[in-house]
Structure 1
Amino acid sequence: MVFRAGFKAIQALVLLAIGAIVIFIFALTWSYYFDVASDAEPFSSSNWVELSNPYKITNDPGCVRGGMALDLIQKEILKSKTKEQVSEILGNPDKISDSTFSYELGQCSGLGWHSSILVIKFMNNSVHNLNIVRDAS
């Protein structure tokens, strides 16, 4: 009987340790692929445009526009803006398609090792959604 109670306690500790390891691996994976390695900082149109080519000076620029991108998303600064208004505020996009604008942010994901992009999706010529994504190219 005592042996059985001790075994159950050890079994519970092992399961707890395995759960903690799984949670740690999940958190690490999340930060590597999806988290932005920057704190929100006040958006400035002039600073944004000035930093429009984060790789001009060095191949390792850091997350130069990520903080401002977070501010754009959190404060909904571009909500309902047209493509023309977005271009006036952010400058010319790095990539354009019929329904999206993309802007380079620097190395903001993958623990600061991978490039990130602000993707602005339009619906009926106005901003529908903003996302920061890891650059797959």
Structure 2
Amino acid sequence: MVFRAVFKAIQALVLLTIGTIVFFIAALTWSYYFDVISGAEPFSSSSWVERSNPYKITNDPGCVRGGMALDLIQKEILKSKTQKQVSEILGTPDKISDSTFSYELGQCSGLGWHNSILVIKFMNNSVHNLKIVRDAP
């Protein structure tokens, strides 16, 4: 009887430990692939343009514009803006393809090890969607 109670307690402890480890690995994996490691920073058009080349000084710049990109997304600053208005606010995009503008943010993904990009998609010449993505290597 005592043996059975001790066995169940040990079994519960082992399951709890395994669950905690799995949760930790899942959280780390999510952070590595999808999280942006920056707190929101108030958006400033002049600061954004000033930081337009995050790799100008060093190849390891950190998350130079990530905080402002989060602010753009959270406050919907670019909502319903045209391509021309977005260019006036953010400057010339680093990449233009189809109806998409891309702006480099610095190393904001993968626990600060991978480059991130703000991707702005347009539909009918107005902003349809903004998101921060990890740059493909």
Give TM-score, length-normalised by structure 1.
0.96
Alignment of 1:5-84 (within 5 A): 5-84=5-84
Percent of pairs with identical residues? 89
2:111 alignment partner in structure 1: 111
Give TM-score, length-normalised by structure 2.
0.96
Pairwise CA distance, 1:35: 1.1
Pairwise CA distance, 1:95: 0.8
2:125 and 2:41 map into 1 onto residues whose CA distance is 27
**Counterpart of 1:120 in structure 2: which amino acid?**
I
2:100 alignment partner in structure 1: 100
2:120 alignment partner in structure 1: 120
1:22 and 1:123 map into 2 onto residues whose CA distance is 41
**Counterpart of 2:18 in structure 1: which amino acid?**
I
| Number of residues of Structure 1 aligned to a counterpart in Structure 2 | 137
SS where residue 26 of structure 1 aligns? helix
2:9 and 2:83 map into 1 onto residues whose CA distance is 61
Runs of 4+ in 1 over 2 A off after TM superposition: none
Pairwise CA distance, 1:124: 1.4
1:135 and 1:88 map into 2 onto residues whose CA distance is 24
1:124 and 1:6 map into 2 onto residues whose CA distance is 67
1:26 and 1:123 map into 2 onto residues whose CA distance is 35
2:136 alignment partner in structure 1: 136
1:124 and 1:16 map into 2 onto residues whose CA distance is 52
1:14 and 1:79 map into 2 onto residues whose CA distance is 50
5+ long unaligned stretches in structure 2: none
SS where residue 4 of structure 1 aligns? helix
